[in-house]
Structure 1
Amino acid sequence: MKLDVIVIDDSSINLVLTSHLIHKFEGCITSEFNNPKQALEWCFEHVPDLVIVDFMMPEMDGIEFIRRFRALPERADIPVLMVTANDQIEIRHRALEAGANDFLNKPIDKIEFAARVRNMLSLRRSQRKLLDQAAWLSEEVKLATNEILARERETIIRLSKAADSRDPETGAHILRMSHFCKLIASHIGVSEENQQILLDAAPMHDVGKVGIPDNILLKPGRLDPTEFDIMKQHSFLGYEILNGSESVILKAAAEIALSHHEKFDGSGYPFGLVGDKIPLFARICAVADVFDALTSERPYKKAWPDDQAIAYLREGRGKHFDPMCVDVFLENWDEVMEIRNRFKD
């Protein structure tokens, strides 16, 4: 393990002597400074493993250097050895308060110097090993978590495809729709973490359709009132399938499945929620889902032209749809087109 030792002393002879003694320790390299301000600037960019600083220096004494050094990020635990010809107890108390770990008196005794530096370097090696181990453990946890999330996302996509297999919508629809959702979320202040959750959860919005009879789900014409009541049950069915999980993605998916057919003016289902009483993810999904459904060809209908679909969104602004979500979607039309071209049927 390579260890960086910084030596600060306004005497060139002391710098040479101290550095010579440090180089006897295997793996140590030194940086020498006769100006404490320059040394402090170096410490802004580098994290030393040991600081050896003289007390009596012009412009800034050793105590002030230590105080400023300790104020730097990630420098609180670096071993600091102060060298001084002053044996006043008050000076040592001030140095300890500033953050010094140990002291050496001038003139330096080589045996005492070696013992104290050896102990401080040993301490620093232990710190470094603990830091490295913590970083390794953090990376391993991150890798394991990412693997779990990848499996969870795969399960979600497969479950979504299971619903799609009974629905004339295509797999590309859920990809476009979920990316439209992320697009809207990214422009209304949703955190990146929640944008990813929405992207992963949105494909599950219609998973409840697995429980709708084929003669209703696949009916080419308009549903009668009784059939429509049955169709509306897919919101509850999707919620029941997804609810109760500890997964944040499945929790979000359950909320979306239940609420994405609510309308901003309260005329939607299943609860007739109004405005921001509708969960934000569901309001976002409503715009994304309806737009892609309108502009996609299905066995029972032709795709609407873009201008007609845009007019429908504008007409439904504040009625069916959250005005903010509609505005953001249409204001970022180039990104909408990029997503549609990326995920073609």
Structure 2
Amino acid sequence: MYNQLNKWLGNPNYFRFGFIIILLLIVTLYYTNFHEDQLYLLFILATIFLGIGYYDKSAWFLVSVTTVIVFCRFIPEPNFTTFVSLLILEVCYLIIMFISVSLMKSNQKIKKDDLETILALTKALDSRDAYTSNHSQNVAFYAKEIAKKMKLPKHVIESVYKGGLLHDIGKIGIPEDILLKPGKLSLEEYTIIKRHPVIGYEMIKHVSDYNKNGIHDIVLYHHERYDGNGYPKGLKGEEIPLVARIMAIADSFDAMTSKRVYRNEIDLGATLMVIQKNKGSQFDPEITDVFLSLFENEKKKIAITNQMKSYKDRLEDSTLSTWVG
């Protein structure tokens, strides 16, 4: 229930629609045989939805609409209305409205603080290797675009984005001489590198919200393969959580199209061919098709390139509130 409430609070549009629906319901019931003295519950609910749904509006707007609600509340019983009773009701409804506004602002601040903490951890990781700088942000962006193209719920898109930022956090525990080695890794070194999903999971496993929203799954399983030959668990097909299957493609795409200490970047066309070739083996076939559709024509290639540039600019400007676009 708490988790579901957080999802609702994450999207004030639900409450804006709810506010309008409640007002329409009040008007409808007013012209039926519904007991007018029971309508007050709907007026209170409308005030709560007003505060939550329009928390980001000006105080004058909120106070004005609340005042209208109060006057509408007294329309059915004008003979019993006094200035004092109207004033008391106005104060009570304003208190209810501002409590609702505070609840929503608090929720949004927690989310923003959480994102800022994640970005700080990501920057700490990226600072260890100039060649992989911004890798986590790039992966988060591509994963978010895949999730949006799949029309996943907004809270899942948000989790995919945050998971993308954190997916490689376990590399903080990998020695730099291995992480930055310019040549081919030995079998022993590769075994150490393969520990990073588990290290990352161990770092964040006590954050209960990350378990509920799938971020744990992203960090732990983003190197699993659809054919079962991945690590650390060797999961196969739909045994791999959906969010981790999305991350696998986003991670591989950015790894191939970015310059690394041991090789130059691979051009876009060749990268897309590699991803197509590994459809059904390394990558989920349906998610692969969704990802490739982002680049199915030259116009879309240019569009997503421009989106990526705009996204990097927003990161540099620290405009965190625009991440979900």
Scaled by the length of structure 2, the TM-score of the pair is 0.68
Contact 1:256 1:282 (8 Å CA) reproduced: yes
Q: Is it true that 1:280 corresponds to 2:248 in the alignment?
A: no
Q: Which residue of 2 aligns with 1:15?
A: none
Q: Is it true that 1:258 corresponds to 2:185 in the alignment?
A: no
**CA deviation after TM superposition for structure 1 residue 47, in Å:** 7.3
5 Å-filtered alignment, 1:40-79, equals: 65-67=31-33
* Max Rg structure: 1
5 Å-filtered alignment, 1:104-119, equals: 116-118=79-81
Distance change >3 Å, CA 244–CA 189, structure 1 → 2 = same
* Distance in structure 2 (CA, Å) of the matches to 1:297 and 1:250: 35
Deviations 1:276-323 (A, max 9, x none): 111111111111111011011123211111110000110111111111
Q: Secondary structure at the match of 2:307?
A: helix
Contact 1:259 1:269 (8 Å CA) reproduced: yes
Q: Secondary structure at the match of 1:67?
A: coil
Runs of 4+ in 1 over 4 A off after TM superposition: 44-48, 73-78, 121-128
| Cα RMSD (Å) | 3.4
Q: Which residue of 1 aligns with 2:292?
A: 330
* Distance in structure 1 (CA, Å) of the matches to 2:76 and 2:268: 74
Distance change >3 Å, CA 65–CA 47, structure 1 → 2 = closer
Greater share of helix: 2
Deviations 1:175-211 (A, max 9, x none): 2210111111112231112211221221111111111
Q: Which residue of 2 aligns with 1:82?
A: none
Q: Is it true that 1:340 corresponds to 2:303 in the alignment?
A: no
**CA deviation after TM superposition for structure 1 residue 162, in Å:** 1.5
**CA deviation after TM superposition for structure 1 residue 255, in Å:** 2.0
**CA deviation after TM superposition for structure 1 residue 125, in Å:** 5.4
Q: Alignment identity in percent? A: 31
Distance change >3 Å, CA 320–CA 102, structure 1 → 2 = closer
Q: Secondary structure at the match of 2:273?
A: helix
Task: Report the residue type matching 2:33 in the other structure.
Answer: R
5 Å-filtered alignment, 1:128-277, equals: 128-248=90-210, 252-277=214-239
Task: Report the residue type matching 2:309 in the other structure.
Answer: N
* Distance in structure 2 (CA, Å) of the matches to 1:201 and 1:125: 49
Task: Report the residue type matching 1:118 in the other structure.
Answer: T
Task: Report the residue type matching 1:211 in the other structure.
Answer: G
* Distance in structure 1 (CA, Å) of the matches to 2:34 and 2:153: 36
Q: Which residue of 1 aligns with 2:254?
A: 292
Structure 2 gaps of 5+ residues are 1-22, 45-74, 314-325
* Distance in structure 2 (CA, Å) of the matches to 1:196 and 1:246: 16
Q: Secondary structure at the match of 2:234?
A: coil
Structure 1 gaps of 5+ residues are 1-43, 49-62, 79-100, 104-112
Distance change >3 Å, CA 264–CA 122, structure 1 → 2 = farther
* Distance in structure 2 (CA, Å) of the matches to 1:240 and 1:322: 26
* Distance in structure 1 (CA, Å) of the matches to 2:160 and 2:93: 35
* Distance in structure 2 (CA, Å) of the matches to 1:293 and 1:221: 16
Contact 2:143 2:160 (8 Å CA) reproduced: yes
5 Å-filtered alignment, 1:76-115, equals: none
Q: Between Structure 1 and Structure 2, how many residues are aligned?
A: 254
Deviations 1:16-70 (A, max 9, x none): xxxxxxxxxxxxxxxxxxxxxxxxxxxx87978xxxxxxxxxxxxxx99443797
* Distance in structure 1 (CA, Å) of the matches to 2:42 and 2:309: 53
Distance change >3 Å, CA 316–CA 130, structure 1 → 2 = farther
Greater share of strand: 1
* Distance in structure 2 (CA, Å) of the matches to 1:141 and 1:169: 42
Scaled by the length of structure 1, the TM-score of the pair is 0.64
Distance change >3 Å, CA 308–CA 151, structure 1 → 2 = same
Higher relative contact order (CA 8 A, sep 6+): 2
